[in-house]
Structure 1
Amino acid sequence: MLNVNWNSDWLFSKSEINIFDPTANGGDVETVHLPHDAMILEKRTEDTKNKHQTGFYPGGIYYYNKNFFVPEDWASKTAIVEFEGVYTNARIFVNGDFAGGCKNGYKTFSICLDEFLKYGQENTIKVVVNNSMEQNSRWYSGSGIYRPVHLHLANLTHIELHGVKIDTPEVSKNVATVLVRTKINHQEKLTKKVLLKTTIFDSNAEKVNEIITPVTLFGFTSEIFSQRFVIKNPQLWDVETPHLYHAKIEIVEGTELLDSSTENFGIRSLSLDSEEGLKLNGKPTKLRGACIHHDNGVIGAATFADAEERRVKQLKEAGFNSIRSSHHPISKSMLEACDRYGMLVLDELSDMWTRSKNINDYSNDFLENWESDVEALVEKDYNHPSVIMYITGNEIQEAGTPKGAKLNRDIHSKFKVLDPSRYTTSAINGLIAAMDKMGEIMAHIMGVSLEELAAQQAQAQEANNSGEGSDQANSMQNILRGPLADAFAVDSILSETLEEFTAATDVAGYNYLTARHEIEHDSHPNRVVLGTETFPVDIAKLWRIVEENSHVIGDMTWTGYDYLGEAGIGIFYYDGRMGFMPNWQSSVAYIGDIDITGFRRPISYYREIVFGLRKAPFIAVERLNRKGQTPNQTAWMWKDNIASWTWNGFEGEVTNVDVLSNSPTIELFLNGRSLGQKATGEREEYIATYEVPYEKGELLAVSYDSAGNETGRDYLVTADKASQVSVDISKSILRNNSEDLAYLDISLVDDSGLFNNQDSKIVNVEVTGAGTLQGFGSANPEIISHYQDNSCETFDGKVLAVIRAGQELGNIFVKIQAEGFATKEVEIEVKSIC
C-alpha cells in the first residue's frame, strides 16, 4: 500500500470555503500545511467559557479543503485517507458528499474514498471541524487537523491498513520467536494464487530471516495469514538498548509485486506479578514515570515528529523511563520516538466515560463509541515495543458504582481480546470515585457522627466567611496531602467502594492515594500497584515505597513536561490569587519538571537524584526577588527556586540555598569559604538547606561518600550584566517537507558568555527565506504576548523560537535582536527530502 504524505496545500478558513472561488471568502482563506493547530492562532480572551482550562483560548468552527487530481487508473485501485487526529467533531465530505467523520478528537480514523471519487478529473475533500462548543476539555486541546494526514493507495489485492501485527511470544537470550500476522484484502471476483513473502531485518539492516508462503485468495475476501520466525541471538529491545527490527511484507503474483508494507518492531518480553513486579526481558524494571499532555508548548497542539521526539529525548535525559499519555491516546510520532529512545508507554483511552467533567466533553459520546475507540488505539499501538500498558480511563466518576465496575471490566476485556500481550490499569482518584460518600468517610476517619461532622463543617464555613480559616481550595488540599489524605486513602469505606472497580484490571492504578501503595499487599497479596498520578513534591517518599515493595511497580508524577491549559495549578501567585482558578492572563500549568521551552527546573534534578541516576549534587536558590513574600500554593507545587547566583541589587539579603544530593554529606562554599557540612541522602530526603547572605561570586557544593571521598560537585557563578544573546540550535539542516523543525534556545549572557537569568529583554525574531516562524515564546506562565508574535520578553533569561521549513530549497535566515545588543544571525539550510 502506497503511503502518500497528504499534509501540504490545504485551504483553511473559519467560514465555508467556496471551492470554485476561494477569494469569495473575503480574504479569509489561506493555504496551510498540516499539522495545523487553529486554536493557538486564536486571540485569548478573558470572557471565554473555557477560562483557564484551555489557557483562555477559545475554540471555533474551521474548514479545511484540499483539491487533488484522481487519475483514471485509480479506478482499479482503492484509496483511503487516514487522519491521525482532528479536534474535534470532524465531518468529512468528498466532492460534496458526506463520507464519514469522528467525534473523538484524539482518535486515528480513516475514510475509504472509492465510492466518492471522480476519475480523470479534479476532486475535493472538505473537513469541517466543530470545536465551537466551549467547556469540552479540562486542558488545552488545540483545534483543527492538528496531527498528520495520509493518503493510502493500493491495488485491489492489498495488505489492509494496519493489517500487519507482530508478536514476540517466546523470547530468550539465545533465540526468539516472531509471529507476523498479515491481513490481506482481495477485492476481485476471481480466485488468485500469490506468494506472501516476509523478510526480517535487524537494527543494522541486515537480513536475519525470510519466509515465503503460497496462499490462495478467494474472491472478495479478507483473510489473516500467519508466519512464524525463529531469530537466533536476538537484539532485545529495552530501555537501555532499544534495538529495532523491521519486517518487509510483500504480496507477489508471478513477477508482479501487488503490495508491500514495512513495519518496525522490537523483540522483548513482559511479565508481571506481585512478587517480582514488572519484568522487561526477565529483568525487574521500575517505572520512573511522567504524566504528559499532548501539546508542544509554544507551537500548540500541532503534532510534528521533531517536536514529539524532542520531548521524549528530554524526558529520557531527565531520568524518566516511562510516560503516561494523559488523558487520551498518544500520537504515532511520539510512539515512534519512544521506540527509538527506549521509553515505556502507558497509553490512555479517555478522561471520562458516561459522567461529564465539562458540560460538552466526550462523555456525551463515549458510550456509543468506546469499542471502536479501543480498536483504534490498539491498532495504532500494536507493533510498538514501547507500549506496555493500556489505561481504561482517568479519574472515572463511576468508579465507585457497580455499573462503573462493569464498564471497566468490559473495556479491559476488549483490550485483552485485541491485544492479550499487554496489561491494563485505570487511574483511580478516590476523592472523585467516592464523592457521594465523602461525609460518611470523613466522619469515620474523625470518629464522629455525620451530624457532628456537619456541625463542624458549618462552623468552619462560618469562620471562612468571616475571613478566618482556609478557603475551599485549601480545604481540598488538606484532603489531598498529609495525614488526613493518608487516613482517607486507607479508609475501609473507601476500600469497599473501590474494590470491584479496581479488581477489573491487571494493575491497580492510584491517583494521589499513596498510603494504599504499600499496604495493598497485606489485603490483596496478588495485586500489583502503580502510582498512576502523584504529587511531584512527594517523590522521595514515593520512590522509597517503590523500591522497597515488589508489588509497587513505579510512580508517574504530575507532570514531567509543562503544558498549556489547566493554567495556574503550579503558578506561584504572590498577589493573593489562588491556583486552579480562572486567573487571567495565566495560560500555562507551570507544573512540569521541564518547562514548556524544554528547560529543566530544579525539581527535575531533585527527581534524578532521588532515582539514584545523578551522582553530582545540584544547587537551587529560592528567588531573592520574592524574599518576604508568601505565595499561595496548590498541592502540586514544590519551591519557587532556580539554579542562579545572580541577584544584583540584593547584596547582603539572606536566602535559602538547597543542595540536593544522594551522597551522605555535602559541603557548601561561598567564594571559597566553607559554610559547613550537612547531612543529605535518603534520611534527609536528599536535601540540605543553608541560609546564605547574597554576595557576588561563586557558590560551590561538594558531595562526599561515607569515607569522606568527594563524589561530585556543582557550582553557580554570578554573571555580569547581560550584553548579548546566545543561540543554541537543534538542527542546522532541515528537509523541504514543511514538517521539519529547528529549535532555537535563546538566552541572555554577559561578555564572557555566562548565562544571566536575572536580566530581562524584549527579543525580536525575524525569519526570511525558505521557512517560517512556527512559534516563539518563553516559559512565563502568564505570558501576555502571542506565541505567533515575533517579539517576546525573556523569562529567567530565556526564550524559545521554533522555525519550520518550507517546501522550497534554499536557506532560512533568522535575525535575533535584543534592545542594545548586537543582532545575532542564524542560517539554516533547507535540502531536498530525497
Structure 2
Amino acid sequence: MIPQSFNDNWHFFKSINDARAAAMGGPQPPAITLPHDAMSHEPRTPDTPNGAQTGFYPGGQYVYQKTLYAPADWQGCSVILEFEGVYQTAQVYLNGTLVAHQLYGYSNFYADLTNALHIGEDNQIRVIADNSAVPNSRWYSGSGMYRGVRLWVGGPVRLPAEGVRVTTLSADEDYALVEIAATVRSADQAPRRVEVCAALGGVTGRVPVTVFPGSEETVRQTLAIPSPALWDCDHPYLYDCTVTVKDGARMLDHAALRVGLRTLTLDPHRGLRLNGSPVKLRGACIHHDNGILGAATWPDAERRRCRQLKEAGFNALRSAHHPMSREMLEACDELGVLVMDEVIDMWTQHKNPHDFALHFPDQWPEIIDRMVAKDYNHPSVVLYSIGNEITEVGSAQGCQLARAMTERLHRLDPTRYTTNGINGLVATFFGGQIYSMMQELMPSARKSGADDSGSNAVNGAMGLMAGETGDRFAVHPTLTALLDEPSNAVDVIGLNYLTGRHLLEQELHPNKTVVGTETFPADIARLWGLVKRHPHILGDFTWAGYDYLGEAGCGIFHYDGTANFSSVYPERTASIGDLDLLGDRHPISYLREIVYGLRKAPYIAVERVDRYGQTPSRTPWMLKDNLASWTWPGFEGQPANVDVYSDADEVELLINGRSVGRRPAGEENRFTASFTLCYEPGELTAVAYADGQETGRHTLHTAGAVAALAPEVERGAELTFVTLRLTDAQGRPNLFDTRTVTAEVESGELLGFGSACPCSTEPYDGTVCPTWNGAVMAVFRGHARVRFTAGGLPPLCLEI
C-alpha cells in the first residue's frame, strides 16, 4: 500500500464540550492542517502543575474531527489510518465507534476503519487527545495531534503498512547482497497464486506464492546489487526500492521506499564500523520540539534542525527520550546522520505523578515493536536505547526487564545494537547508596531546608556529577557493584555523566564497548581525547545539541541570585543547546567543532562585558555566558574576558592592530587561550600559530547604530523560515541592541514568531516579539505577504 497524506481539513476543538456544541449547530472552527501542537497555543501560567518542566505550558483535552468520503471502489478494501504521534493518550472514533486507542504519546499507531466505514458516504473521524493528567513529562511534551496522519488503502490481497523490510546482508565494492522480505496478507475468498516482484538498483526479482484466505505469507528474495553506492555519513546515497504484488498482468498492490545499503559491525578493538570503516559518534542529544513551532513535527523543520546540527559538526543524534519522528529519520537518512533511537524515559518507577510508568509493564513490548517497525528501513539508525536514566536500573527487577527488552529488540532486528543511558546518581539514589557516598565524597554537603524529595534531592546531589568529585563518584566501588549486571544486559554500555568511568569499563568488561549517552558540554575537550585514543569508546552525545522547550532554567545565566532548576516563571527553555532555539550556534558549538578536528580557524568568544565581575548561577551543563560579539556600547574602557578557541600551538589576540599578547592553546590547554583586556570599539582579531606559522584567524568588528532589519530566508517544501537580524548601515549584526519587532501579516499563515530568549513572555503564535541577541524568527506556511516593523527602523516587506 502507498500511504497518502491525511493532514488537511481537520477541525480542532479545545474541549469535548466545544465539539458537542458544534455538532448541535454551534460555531464550527476553521479547518487546520496537521501537525498541530495544541499546547503551544495555550496561555502560559505560573501556577500550572507542570511548572518549568513544560516551560509553564498547561495540558488539556482536545478534539480533532474530519470527514472522510469512502468511494464505491473501496468496497472490499482495507482502509487504515496511521497516526504518527498524539499526546498524551488518543481515542479514535469512526462514525461514533471506537476503532483505536493509544496510551503512549510518542508511538505511531494504526486505526483500522474497514469494518465501521460507510461506503459511498461521508464518514466522521473524531480523535480525542487527552493531556489533562499533569504533570506527566520532564520536558515540553506538546499536546494533541502534533505529528502527521497517513491514509492506507489496500485491496483484498495486499502489502500491509510497514510490510516490506530491506536488509543488507553483505557489501563490498563489487556487490551488495540485499534481502527484501515482503509480507503479503489476504482477505480474499479463495486461495490465489500471485507473484511478488522486487526491484532495487536496476536489479529485479520475482517469487511466486499462493496466499490463502485470512493468511499472511512472508516472501524473501535476495538481490545482488553490482558496484553498490554504500550509505555513510559523507555519502548518504539512497536507493529507490519497489515491491509489487501481481496476479498475472494485474497489479494487486505495491510499495515504494527509499533505502540505504550499509553494513554495521561492533567490537571493543575496532569500535563501531560502517561498511568496514571505523566511525566515531560525534553525537547530540535532542528533544522532539521545534522551538517556536512547539512540538509540531513539520518535515521542513525536522530537516532544517538536522542540517544545522550536521553543519555544526555532529554526525549522530540521540532521540531523547522517546522514539524519533519519521520525518527526522528521513532527514537523517538523506543528510547522513546516525541515530540512537530511544524507547522511553522511565520503566516502572514514576518520575512524574502521571507519566507512563503506570502502563509500561504491559505496554513496553508493543512500544518496542512499533519503534522497530518504524526504524527498520532507515540506514541512519544504528543503536536502540532501551531507556534513559532508569531509576531501578540496578535492581534485580530492572536488570530482568533490561534483558527482556534487549532480547526482544534482537529478535525483531538482529542488525543493530542496544544500549541504555545509565545515570549513576539516579541509580544510587534509588538503591539508597547515595547518602553514604555523599558523606564520603562531599563531606561538607548538608541538607538545606528546601524540599529534599524526588528530583529535588537528585538535583541537590548534582555536585557528585561534575569535576574531580564526579570522577571519584564514577569509579566508586559501590557504583561499580551496582552497575555490573545492567552493563551486561545491553550490547553497548551507555553512560550519562560518567566520563571518569569510560576507561574503567575496559578493565571491568573487556569485551564491551562504551558510549557517552549524555555528557556535559564543557567536558568535550577531555572526553574527545579519550574517544580518539580508545577504540572501545564509541563516541559522545552532548546534552544538548539544540536548545529546547521545557526543563526550563537548566542553563539560564541568572545574575540576581535566582537558582537554576527552581521553576521560575516565565522561564521557557533549557538554554543549554550548542545551537539556540532559532538555530544560531553558541560559542561552545565552535569549540566542539575545533575539538572534533573539523575547524582549523580560531574562534573568539567574549564574555558579556556588561556582566563583568558579576557571578551567575551555575549548573554543570553551563560553560560561559559568552558571544562572538565586540559590540558593547557604553562599556568603553571596561575590562572584558575573551576566550579564543583553537587547536593551534598558540594564539595571539589583536585589538585594532595592537597585540594583547600570545597564549598557548591546543589540546594540552583544552583548546582555549584566555585573555583580559579593556573594551574599545573597533576590530578584535585572533591569529592562530602552529610551528610559528599562521594557520588561521578570526575577526570581530564593532557594529554601529542599528539601521535595518536584515532578513535571512530559508525555504523548504512547505515552510519558510525568516530570521531577522538587527544590522548597522554596513550590514554588520548588532547583538547588543534590542528592538521590538511586529509582524503585520497581510496574507498567508504565520505558524510561529519568536526569539531564542529563554525567559520571554510573548506567545509564539503572536505577532510581537523583542529581539534576543539581535534576532527574531518567523515561520510561514505556503504563500504569504508580511510587513515587519521595529522602532525607528525602515519597514521590511516580504512576499514568501
CA contact (8 A) 2:198 2:243 kept: yes
Match of 2:794 in 1: 822
CA distance in 2, matches of 1:6, 1:656: 54
Give the aligned residue type for 2:489: A
Match of 1:760 in 2: 738
Match of 1:204 in 2: none
* Residue 780 (structure 2) pairs with residue 796 (structure 1): no
CA contact (8 A) 2:2 2:256 kept: no
CA distance in 1, matches of 2:20, 2:121: 14
Give the aligned residue type for 2:172: S
Q: CA deviation at 1:439?
A: 4.6
* Residue 357 (structure 2) pairs with residue 363 (structure 1): yes
CA contact (8 A) 2:441 2:473 kept: no
* Residue 540 (structure 2) pairs with residue 555 (structure 1): yes
CA distance in 2, matches of 1:547, 1:18: 59
* Residue 755 (structure 2) pairs with residue 778 (structure 1): yes
- Give a deviation string over 1:643-692, Cα, whole Å, max 9, x none: 00000100000110100001111111100111122110000100001101
Question: Quick check: 580-589 or 434-443, which moved more?
Answer: 434-443
Match of 1:667 in 2: 652
Q: CA deviation at 1:19?
A: 7.3
CA contact (8 A) 1:506 1:528 kept: yes
* Residue 579 (structure 2) pairs with residue 594 (structure 1): yes
- Give a deviation string over 1:749-770, Cα, whole Å, max 9, x none: 011111111111011112233x
Match of 1:613 in 2: 598
Change (3 A) 1:75 1:473: closer
Question: Quick check: 625-634 or 722-731, which moved more?
Answer: 625-634
SS of residue paired to 2:385: strand
CA distance in 2, matches of 1:440, 1:717: 50
Match of 2:378 in 1: 384
Match of 1:709 in 2: 693
Change (3 A) 1:194 1:628: same
**Matches for 1:504-653 after TM superposition, within 5 Å:** 504-653=489-638
Give the aligned residue type for 1:621: V
SS of residue paired to 2:57: coil
- Give a deviation string over 1:683-707, Cα, whole Å, max 9, x none: 010000110100010001111112x
Match of 2:173 in 1: 173
CA distance in 1, matches of 2:326, 2:430: 39
Question: Quick check: 540-549 or 70-79, which moved more?
Answer: 70-79
* Residue 727 (structure 2) pairs with residue 749 (structure 1): yes
Change (3 A) 1:667 1:56: same
CA distance in 2, matches of 1:142, 1:364: 20
Match of 2:709 in 1: 725
Is there any run of 5+ residues in structure 2 with no aligned partner, and where? 451-455
* Residue 152 (structure 2) pairs with residue 152 (structure 1): yes
Question: Quick check: 13-22 or 528-537, which moved more?
Answer: 13-22
CA distance in 1, matches of 2:480, 2:369: 32
CA distance in 2, matches of 1:768, 1:626: 41
SS of residue paired to 1:615: coil
CA distance in 2, matches of 1:654, 1:133: 51
Match of 2:209 in 1: 215
Give the aligned residue type for 2:721: Y
CA contact (8 A) 1:67 1:124 kept: yes
Change (3 A) 1:757 1:112: same
Q: CA deviation at 1:477?
A: 2.8
Question: Quick check: 291-300 or 628-637, which moved more?
Answer: 628-637
SS of residue paired to 1:397: coil
Q: CA deviation at 1:300?
A: 0.1
* Residue 373 (structure 2) pairs with residue 401 (structure 1): no
CA contact (8 A) 2:19 2:63 kept: no
CA distance in 2, matches of 1:25, 1:664: 76
Match of 1:127 in 2: 127
CA distance in 2, matches of 1:233, 1:333: 29
Q: Alignment partner for residue 313 of structure 2, among 313, 319, 325?
A: 319
CA distance in 1, matches of 2:513, 2:562: 40
Is there any run of 5+ residues in structure 1 with no aligned partner, and where? 202-207, 466-470, 806-810, 829-834
Change (3 A) 1:601 1:778: same
Q: Alignment partner for residue 410 of structure 1, among 394, 404, 407?
A: 404
CA distance in 1, matches of 2:18, 2:391: 45
CA contact (8 A) 1:14 1:28 kept: no
CA distance in 2, matches of 1:643, 1:367: 49
**Matches for 1:687-698 after TM superposition, within 5 Å:** 687-698=672-683
CA contact (8 A) 2:756 2:776 kept: yes
Change (3 A) 1:472 1:572: farther
CA contact (8 A) 1:93 1:100 kept: yes
CA contact (8 A) 2:425 2:434 kept: no
Q: CA deviation at 1:796?
A: 0.7
Change (3 A) 1:444 1:552: same
Change (3 A) 1:74 1:20: farther
* Residue 340 (structure 2) pairs with residue 346 (structure 1): yes
Give % identity.
Answer: 44
CA distance in 2, matches of 1:646, 1:254: 74
Change (3 A) 1:585 1:198: same
CA contact (8 A) 2:207 2:219 kept: no
Give the aligned residue type for 1:791: V
Give the aligned residue type for 1:603: I
Give the aligned residue type for 2:606: V
Change (3 A) 1:545 1:120: same
CA contact (8 A) 1:445 1:487 kept: no
Q: CA deviation at 1:265?
A: 0.9
CA contact (8 A) 1:590 1:781 kept: yes
Change (3 A) 1:139 1:487: same
Match of 1:280 in 2: 274
* Residue 223 (structure 2) pairs with residue 251 (structure 1): no
* Residue 661 (structure 2) pairs with residue 676 (structure 1): yes
CA contact (8 A) 1:159 1:259 kept: yes
CA distance in 2, matches of 1:800, 1:11: 27
SS of residue paired to 2:133: coil
Change (3 A) 1:88 1:447: closer
Q: CA deviation at 1:29?
A: 3.2
Match of 2:453 in 1: none
SS of residue paired to 1:375: helix
SS of residue paired to 1:555: strand
Change (3 A) 1:443 1:412: closer
Give the aligned residue type for 2:244: E
- Give a deviation string over 1:558-600, Cα, whole Å, max 9, x none: 0000000000000001111111111110000000000010100
Match of 1:309 in 2: 303
SS of residue paired to 1:52: helix
CA contact (8 A) 2:61 2:128 kept: yes
Q: Alignment partner for residue 284 of structure 2, among 290, 296, 301?
A: 290
Change (3 A) 1:818 1:179: same
SS of residue paired to 1:415: helix
SS of residue paired to 2:522: helix
- Give a deviation string over 1:599-622, Cα, whole Å, max 9, x none: 000000010011110000000000
Q: Alignment partner for residue 486 of structure 2, among 488, 493, 501?
A: 501
Q: TM-score, normalised by structure 2?
A: 0.97
Q: CA deviation at 1:444?
A: 9.3
CA distance in 1, matches of 2:726, 2:44: 28
Q: CA deviation at 1:407?
A: 0.1
Q: CA deviation at 1:75?
A: 1.7
Change (3 A) 1:59 1:475: closer
SS of residue paired to 1:398: coil
Give the aligned residue type for 2:379: P
Q: Alignment partner for residue 446 of structure 1, among 440, 450, 466?
A: 440
Give the aligned residue type for 1:376: R
SS of residue paired to 2:163: strand
